[in-house]
Amino acid sequence: MGLSWDGGRRVATVVAFMVALTLIAIPGMANASESPISVIVEAAAGEVTAAQAAVEAAGGTVGQNLDIINSFEATVSFDDFASLTALDVVVSLTPNSSVQLLGWDTSPGHLRNDVGTVVGKVLDADRFWNAGYTGEGIDIALIDSGVLPVEGLRFEDKIVYGPDLSFESQSPTLANLDTYGHGTHMAGIIAGNDLSSQYLSSQSTKRGFVGVAPMSRIVSVKVADAGGNTDVSQVIAAIDWVVEHRNTDGLNIRVLNLSFGTDATQSYLLDPLAHAAEVAWEHGVVVVVAAGNDGNSAVLRNPALNPFVIAVGSADPNGSARTADDSFSDFSNCGTTARHVDILAPGQSIISLRAPGSAADVDFPTARVSDQLFVGSGTSQAAAFVSGAAALLLSQRPDLTPDQVKALLTDSAVPMSGVSTLCQGAGLINLTDVVTAPTPLFATQTFASSTGLGSLEGARGSMHVTMDGVLLIGEQDIFGNTWTGSSWSGSSWSGSSWAGSSWSGSSWSGSSWSGSSWSGSSWSANVWTGSSWSGSSWSGSSWSGSSWSASGWLSSGHA
């Protein structure tokens, strides 16, 4: 059971067990004129056979069934995409972009790293558990692709569902749930707990699946659909919601996990996404961001390029509980002398929670570890470990500032031999001595503050969504409204005055992220780049592209 938000009120909702874990890399968006394209067809209830017949009648090819989400894979022409979507038997068509496996650890003999071993022995989180600190009372916001209430995340009040800001928000069978799969894997690393684990002074009794902060709570804000598609304006809106609601109705959001990034090169001083992350930091939320999966010579992804936040790179534990044999991941971004990785955490071949029955689960059976578990790699996973560690610290010392949390984690890190400072920052995270380390009195970061007055298009980098073959580009948000940095930066980012006008429309006010504001008339009468927008298009069926490409959602592949 999870909790969801409705107009600022928390209401209980039983969430169906659906869809599955995909830690996939989506290559560049295809040209709209290319044909055919691979899609996932979600059929109306009881209409799978009819929907398959419609695809074949249109000249398409039907692939494997995805029974758990009442869907199937298919190949259709681009010209038939919209006409099939209009049929009553079809709920949606989602582009099923091909998967690019990056190959560094896909060989059968590669060592896989169990979360429990990494958490308890590599990070030494046992020290906190034994002292009675398990993350209880700390909420961790996860802006991602949603979270499934699978075993390990299923017990009451474990997941609070914030607004669904994704292109699937109007589908009652998909809203809040992780159709892409990325968020479920992150949630397992951060806060997984299947209730068979025991946290006693003697760890000999510990068993079952366990994340870093097993008694913390996940606040899920979904921004990505089944293809990983989203726009920067959706992510900024999600950070907006987290800042405003961090202490609403019993919430205590102290950590924000951002396991994604764009390839933007705009200065953090101007970039709207980097500024949004900094605003959350200024309001007492520890923001943990994945560094990127572009390789060791690459600069940090946005918003990790903001020096205030914690930028996390990836290391490989190599299947052991010892850290002496750990190695630096060759896919992990390092950065520059001006801005580089702050800390490393395990991110390679990490075993975490699986959601059976999805496209990835069907397409990549070798990534299955068991009925419950799945394996994947990326700086996404590394960021999740650090988010859990921050929650442990905050459960022990609730008055810590984000700057103090960052100082404690980096000061206690262990440098890796032979790895440059650019690539590892302070070194590999280690909680051995943190539990007894004194709180730093002088830990205030003095970087220049950002303004957010730069370009929204600049924040996107090369990552865009499209509708009917038209890119969402320029200074326009997903509503088609003109984006003006000065209308939402500065005083409007106060955390308590999210005026609707700051988002060029009343539906962006904090109190209206209730679901109803995302349906019907809220989406009509907008036009961007020559393509008309209407509420009926907001099912996600007419969206394609690689808003978060191979290195957008920062998990690099299966292991």
The answer to whether 284 and 318 are in contact (CB under 8 A) is no
Active-site residue, selected from the candidate residues 92, 124, 145, 182: 182
The two tokens of residue 288 are 């943990």
DSSP structural state of residue 121: I
What's the length of the chain?
A: 559
Q: What are phi and psi of 414, to 5 degrees?
A: -110, 115
The two tokens of residue 279 are 């605003």
Dihedral, CA of residue 513, residue 310, residue 226 and residue 315, to nearest 10:
-160
- Residue 384 and residue 167: Cα distance in Å, rounded? 24
The answer to whether 131 and 435 are in contact (CB under 8 A) is yes
User: Rounded to the nearest 10 degrees, what angle do helices 379-396 and 402-411 cross at?
Assistant: 110
Neighbours of 5 (CB within 10 A): 24
Angle at 529 between CA 526 and CA 532, to 5 degrees: 40
**DSSP run (H or E) holding 245:** helix 232-245
Strand bridging mode 465-467 / 543-545: antiparallel
Q: Annotated catalytic, 83?
A: no
- Residue 319 and residue 303: Cα distance in Å, rounded? 31
- Residue 453 and residue 487: Cα distance in Å, rounded? 9
Q: Annotated catalytic, 245?
A: no
- SS3 assignment, position 540: coil
Question: Does the N-terminal peptide bond of residue 440 adopt cis geometry, omega within 30 degrees of 0?
Answer: no
Residue-wise DSSP of 373-396: EEEEESHHHHHHHHHHHHHHHHHH
Q: Annotated catalytic, 164?
A: no
- Residue 409 and residue 168: Cα distance in Å, rounded? 37
- Residue 282 and residue 288: Cα distance in Å, rounded? 14
Q: Please list the alpha-helical segments (H only) found in 131-265.
A: 182-191, 232-245
Q: What are phi and psi of 104, to 5 degrees?
A: -80, -20
- Residue 42 and residue 35: Cα distance in Å, rounded? 20
Residue 110 one-letter amino acid = H
Angle at 119 between CA 301 and CA 387, to 5 degrees: 35
DSSP structural state of residue 120: I
Active-site residue, selected from the candidate residues 144, 225, 326, 361: 144
- SS3 assignment, position 218: strand
- Residue 523 and residue 406: Cα distance in Å, rounded? 40
The residues facing 493 across adjacent strands are none
Per-residue b/e over 52-87, b at no fewer than 16 CB within 10 Å? bebbeebebebbeebebbbbbbbbbebebbeebbeb
DSSP structural state of residue 282: H
Q: List CB contacts of 113: < 8 A, sequence separation 6 or more.
A: 316, 317, 318, 319, 346, 348, 349, 350, 351
Active-site residue, selected from the candidate residues 97, 220, 349, 380: 380
| Residues identified as active-site | 144, 182, 380
